[in-house]
């Protein structure tokens, strides 16, 4: 069929927009009503009543753990938080100027060198890999942060829970309880979101039956892009560039005139305000009430108001990345660590999808519409004319 015929037949969906490619029971999103559920439980309930580790267990094994199951799971995670000294030594060779997402992708893949056995049909192997990745990813993110400042990384503290320990490893200070609780809720909010780009990447990689460390490394690389997980870092840069509430309207008008995307807004699925943004905005207000307000929040609120005024007719509203950066900044986290923190959380969702893909696997192999030449003639070098203008060779 010609390109036009195929396109007319609606078989061609760039970016697979709206095309179901798998069955899944992990999370549910209603983009029109602003609903997000993990294994059927509303995100609002999990944010208010659960913890990130309990939520990770729910996502991966499909039900909330009993008290005994959760205690055992938390103990296993504490036990596996440390990383091999060879991984630390490898990270010491990374340039300080490198982006932490590249450091995370490299070190996540390197984990596979130490756990190369692949027993994908063994539930004990699946659990061990899930525990190692959930336990070690935060340690690697924190280690790179201290190393790039020229310091030795600190060992995890077993007397601290998951989020408090991460903030401790990052700052070498035991965090304020409110900061640790708010951070843990942020991890719960970012843990899973149906078939977003990085989760799709994880499922495609998983479908080849490679190891889970390669699956996570593939997803980390996908999450790093500014259109996906990298937006939260860009939101803060945007707020800093705007500089004051008075400048917001002019900035938005300029973006619209240039048809440039405004970071932290819009979503392929949500056509109303992202339910996670609502919760994150409340968390930001809680932190500002305790640790002091600043104009970043006022600029963000004005940004959201003006974008809603000018772009809501297109279904463009604040997404999860809009307020998360403000929360992390108030917790003293450097902006280029926002996306690695997104990865720490989304490992839970990627692992759930890895496990679900293995349960009923079929390797992903979509097709294409070929638009190139056919039956072209090979021209000998001496007969070739002016050098190809590589600008128009796609
Ligand atoms: C995440 O998929 C997930 O679930 C992702 C995520 C998760 O939890 O995994 O929710 C996390 O990735 C959140 C999104 C973070 N990214 C950003 O904030 C970057 C800015 N957002 C845009 O790049 C964009 O909104 C996307 C990529 C998120 C979604 O884009 P779509 O669905 O492909 O929309 P589109 O590019 O087809 O745009 C449709 C229209 C266009 O206008 P027209 O050409 O029709 O006139 O909406 C406009 C776009 O110009 N538009 C925007 C906009 N997003 C879309 N205009 C201004 N600013 C924006 N942010």
**Rounded mean pLDDT, 361-373:** 94
Ligand 1: which residues within 6 Å by Cβ? Answer: 193, 196, 227-228, 231, 259, 261-269, 314, 316, 319-321
Average pLDDT value for the chain: 94
**Rounded mean pLDDT, 17-33:** 96
The rounded Å distance from CA 265 to ligand 1 centre is 7
Residue 380, domain member (yes or no): no
Please name the residue that has the structure tokens 């490893």. 169
Q: Which domain holds residue 243?
A: 231-330
Say whether both 104 and 149 belong to one domain: yes
Nearest CA to ligand 1 atom 44: 259
Q: Which pLDDT value is given to residue 118?
A: 86
Say whether both 200 and 317 belong to one domain: no
Q: Which pLDDT value is given to residue 3?
A: 67
**Rounded mean pLDDT, 146-166:** 97
Say whether both 293 and 346 belong to one domain: no
Catalytic residues: 267, 321
Say whether both 72 and 173 belong to one domain: yes
Per-residue pLDDT band for 12 (boundaries 50, 70, 90) equals confident
pTM for this prediction: 0.94
Residue 177, domain member (yes or no): yes
Nearest CA to ligand 1 atom 9: 196
Q: What is the CATH number of the domain that holds 282?
A: 1.10.230.10
Q: Is the pLDDT of residue 332 over 70?
A: yes
The rounded Å distance from CA 254 to ligand 1 centre is 17
Q: Which pLDDT value is given to residue 390?
A: 62
Say whether both 130 and 213 belong to one domain: yes
**Rounded mean pLDDT, 183-192:** 98
Residue 43, domain member (yes or no): yes
Say whether both 46 and 159 belong to one domain: yes
CA–CA distance, 263 with 237 (Å, rounded to integer):
9
Nearest CA to ligand 1 atom 20: 263
Residue 265, domain member (yes or no): yes
Q: Which of 214, 165, 211, 162 is nearest to 191 (CA)?
A: 162
Residue 9, domain member (yes or no): no
Residue 118, domain member (yes or no): yes
**Rounded mean pLDDT, 79-95:** 97
**Rounded mean pLDDT, 199-222:** 98
Q: What is the pLDDT of residues 247-279, one digit of tens each?
A: 999 999 999 999 999 999 999 999 999 999 999
Q: Is the pLDDT of residue 391 over 80?
A: no
Ligand 1 atom at shortest distance from the alpha carbon of 255:
57
Residue 3, domain member (yes or no): no
Domain limit, last residue, from 330, 346, 372: 330
Nearest CA to ligand 1 atom 21: 266
Sign of CA dihedral 92, 93, 97, 100: negative
Nearest CA to ligand 1 atom 11: 228
Structurally, the chain folds into a number of domains equal to 2
Say whether both 264 and 190 belong to one domain: no
Say whether both 236 and 185 belong to one domain: no
Per-residue pLDDT band for 116 (boundaries 50, 70, 90) equals confident
Say whether both 267 and 354 belong to one domain: no
Q: Which pLDDT value is given to residue 237?
A: 95
Say whether both 73 and 218 belong to one domain: yes
Q: Which pLDDT value is given to residue 386?
A: 81
Q: Is the pLDDT of residue 394 over 90?
A: no
Say whether both 244 and 221 belong to one domain: no
The rounded Å distance from CA 261 to ligand 1 centre is 7
Domain limit, last residue, from 288, 312, 330: 330
Say whether both 181 and 324 belong to one domain: no
The rounded Å distance from CA 146 to ligand 1 centre is 34
Per-residue pLDDT band for 4 (boundaries 50, 70, 90) equals low
Ligand 1 atom at shortest distance from the alpha carbon of 266:
25
Q: What is the CATH number of the domain that holds 214?
A: 1.10.580.10
The rounded Å distance from CA 227 to ligand 1 centre is 7
Q: What percent of the chain has pLDDT over 90?
A: 91
Q: Which pLDDT value is given to residue 106?
A: 98
Residue 17, domain member (yes or no): no
Q: What is the pLDDT of residues 224-251, one digit of tens each?
A: 999 999 899 999 999 999 999 999 999 9
């Amino acid at each position: 069929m010609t390109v036009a015929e195929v396109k007319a037949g609606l078989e061609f969906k760039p970016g697979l927009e709206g095309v179901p490619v798998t069955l899944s029971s992990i999370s549910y999103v209603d983009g029109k009503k602003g609903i997000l559920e993990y294994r059927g439980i509303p995100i609002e309930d999990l944010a208010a009543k659960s913890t990130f580790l309990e939520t990770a267990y729910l996502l991966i094994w499909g039900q909330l753990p009993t008290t005994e199951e959760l205690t055992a799971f938390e103990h296993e995670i504490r036990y596996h938080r440390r990383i091999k000294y060879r991984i630390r030594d490898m990270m010491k060779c990374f340039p300080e100027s490198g982006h932490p997402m590249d450091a995370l992708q490299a070190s996540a893949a390197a984990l596979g060198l130490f756990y190369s056995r692949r027993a994908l049909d063994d539930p004990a192997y699946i659990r061990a890999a899930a525990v190692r990745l959930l336990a070690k990813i935060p340690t690697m993110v924190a280690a790179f942060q201290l190393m790039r400042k020229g310091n030795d990384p600190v060992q995890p503290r077993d007397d601290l829970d998951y989020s408090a320990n991460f903030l401790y490893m990052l700052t070498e200070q035991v965090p304020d309880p409110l900061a640790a609780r708010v951070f843990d809720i942020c991890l719960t909010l970012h843990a899973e979101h149906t078939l977003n780009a990085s989760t799709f990447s994880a499922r495609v990689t998983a479908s080849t039956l490679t190891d889970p460390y390669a699956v996570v490394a593939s997803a980390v690389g996908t999450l790093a892009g500014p259109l996906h997980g990298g937006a939260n870092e860009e939101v803060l840069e945007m707020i800093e560039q705007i500089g004051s509430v008075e400048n917001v309207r002019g900035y938005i008008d300029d973006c619209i005139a240039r048809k440039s995307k405004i970071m932290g807004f819009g979503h392929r699925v949500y056509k109303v305000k992202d339910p996670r943004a609502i919760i994150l905005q409340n968390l930001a207000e809680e932190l500002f009430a305790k640790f002091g307000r600043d104009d970043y929040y006022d600029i963000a609120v004005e940004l959201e108001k003006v974008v809603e005024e000018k772009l809501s007719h297109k279904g463009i509203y604040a997404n999860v990345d809009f307020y998360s950066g403000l929360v992390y900044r108030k917790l003293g986290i450097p902006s280029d660590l926002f996306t690695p923190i997104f990865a720490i959380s989304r490992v839970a969702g990627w692992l759930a999808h890895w496990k679900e893909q293995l349960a009923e696997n079929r390797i992903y192999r979509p097709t294409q519409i070929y638009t190139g030449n056919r039956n072209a003639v090979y021209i000998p070098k001496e007969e070739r004319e002016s050098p190809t203008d590589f600008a128009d060779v796609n």
